[in-house]
Amino acid sequence: MQVISINPDDKSLAMLSIPRDLYVTMKSPSYAGKINRVYNLGNEKTKEGGANLMKQKIGEILDLPIHYYVGVDFTGFKKAVDAVGGIDVYVDKDLYDPSYPADDMINFSPFKISAGMQHMNGDTALKYARSRESTSDFDRSARQQKVISAFKDKILSSGVLNNLEKVISLANIAGSNIKTDLSVAEIKELAKIVKELDKSKTISKVLDNDQDGPFYSDSSSGTFYLKPKSGSWKEVQKIAHEIFTDPFLKREAANIEIINASHSSIATIADLSSTLKSYGYNIVKTSTSKSFQKETEIYDYSNGNKKYTLEFLANRLRASVITKQQSSGAGVDLQLIVGDNYKEAYVKGKN
C-alpha cells in the first residue's frame, strides 16, 4: 500500500509505503492483526466499506486525513503501463524470483531481471513490483514506488495527457479495472495538476524495521508482525508529517509563538515545539509566562489571514481562540498559550 500526496503549490509528489504486515487493532469492527486484512473486513459490511475503513485506519496511524483512495487490479495495472508505451525503471540489483505465481495461481512462473535501466511493458512492471519471494516486503514497497514514479514520469515526458487517444484508452482501463472515490470532475482536475508536476520534486519513503526504521519484527505469537518501536505511532507520524507537508500551512507561513503557562517542564514544551515544526508549523519563538492558567488558548493577531493554520492548531490542541485587534508587537501571527489541560497525546500518536 502506498500513501501518495500531491502538492499543487510547489508541484511536488510524495509517497509513503505502509507495510502489509503492520499490526493494528480496531474496536469497530473488533480486530487485531495485519493491516492488509482491514480492507476485506470493511467489504464484508458494505461495498465501499473496505476502502473507507482502510482510509480511516491509515489516517489514524499517520495522523493525517486520507481524502481519496485508488485501487488498481493486476489487469488494470498491466494495461495502464502498456497504454503509455511502457515505462523506464532503473533496477538497483539483479532480481530472481523462482516462486513468482503463474496466472493460474497454482504453478510458478520464475521471474528474472538484470540490474540497470530497463524498459518494462505492463507484464514485466507488474512482476517487478509484486515480486517478494527472494527479497522482502520492504524491497517490494520500494520497487512499487519506483514503478509509480516511472509511470508518472512517462505521462509527463511523453505528453500522454495531451494525447486524446491515450487519455481515452486510460479512461477505459480505469472504468473496468480501477476502483476509486474520486469523482469525474476531481479526476479531471487531478490530471491538470499532474501535468504540472516537477519530476525532480518526488519524495519516497519506505517504513521498515531497519535500525533507523520505526518498526520492529515480532513473531512471538507465531505470526510475523511489524510493530512500532516506541509503542505508539508517534515516530511514524513524525515521518509522515515531514514528507507530507501540508500545502495550506506552508502557504500561510504563520509565525507562531509558544508561551508556557502550564506546569509542564521546559523539556515538554521544547518537545511540543519540535513536533509542531516537524508537522510544518512555523514556530519562531518559545517563552514562559509569569502566571499559570488551566486552559490552552490561541491569540490570533493575524486579522483573519491565517485561518487554516489557526483552525488546524486549535483543533489539534483543543484550544480556544481569542481574536486580538492589535498587533502582537513581535511579528507574531499566533500566540499559543499552553495551559495545564495540554496533553502530549494531542500532538503525538497513541497506541
Which pLDDT does position 351 carry in this prediction?
A: 40
Instruction: State residue 349's pLDDT score.
Output: 55
Contacts of 152 (CB under 8 A, 6+ apart): 13, 194, 197, 199, 202
Map out the domains of the chain with their CATH numbers: 1-67+181-244 (3.30.420.590), 70-151 (3.40.630.190), 247-346 (3.30.70.2390)
Confidence (pLDDT) at 225:
96
Quick one: angle between helices 137-157 and 184-195, nearest 10? Answer: 80
Rounded to whole angstroms, how far apart are CA atoms 135 and 20? 15
CB-CB neighbours of 181 under 10 Å: 14
pLDDT, position 117: 97
Q: What whole-number distance in Å separates Cα of residue 231 and Cα of residue 221?
A: 17
> Are residues 259 and 299 in contact, defined by beta-carbon separation less than 8 angstroms?
no
Looking at residue 340, its pLDDT comes to 96
pLDDT confidence of residue 164: 66
Rounded to two decimals, the pTM is 0.75
> Which parts of the chain sit beneath pLDDT 50?
351
Contact 65, 248 (CB under 8 A): no
pLDDT at res. 250: 84
Of residues 197, 149, 161, the one with CA closest to residue 10? 197
CA distance 170 to 161: 10
